[in-house]
Amino acid sequence: MEHVSLTDLESTEAAAGVHLALMAGTESMNVQHFEIEPGAVVDEHSHPHEQTGYIVDGELTFIVDGEEFVCGPRDSYGIPGDQAHAAENRGDVTVRGIDIFSPPRENPNWRDD
């Protein structure tokens, strides 16, 4: 069994205001904690991993095929692998939540530097 506490991890700033921390994982999936600051944007991207998630604090607006979906506290979501999607924090508070990826995903490097 793998046990990982968020207090033991350092997050990676994958994009301006978007902080990710990989947590526990197995051969078929892993958990990633995220914090997205007010005004931060996750540009449209896709990946082969199936992605499900849960919002703990704040509201996150997902954009998929031009349609917007607002997810708030206690909401969950699912994104099929290879589906292009973006996300924006249009609110005044930091969005906190978790994503689960299958197969496991490494921390993405979205920055060009």
Question: How far apart are alpha carbons 73 and 77 in whole angstroms?
Answer: 12
> How far apart (Å, rounded) are the C-alpha atoms in residues 22 and 33?
6
pLDDT for the residue numbered 113? 42
The whole-number pLDDT of residue 93 equals 98
pLDDT in tens, 41-93: 999 999 999 999 999 999 999 999 999 999 999 999 999 999 999 999 999 99
Instruction: Retrieve residue 55's tokens.
Output: 């919002």
| CA-to-CA separations, 19 to 33, 36, 71, 93, 107, in angstroms, rounded | 8, 6, 18, 14, 10
* Torsion, CA 99, CA 105, CA 106, CA 111, rounded to 10: -70
In this prediction the pTM is 0.92
Q: How many residues comprise the chain?
A: 113
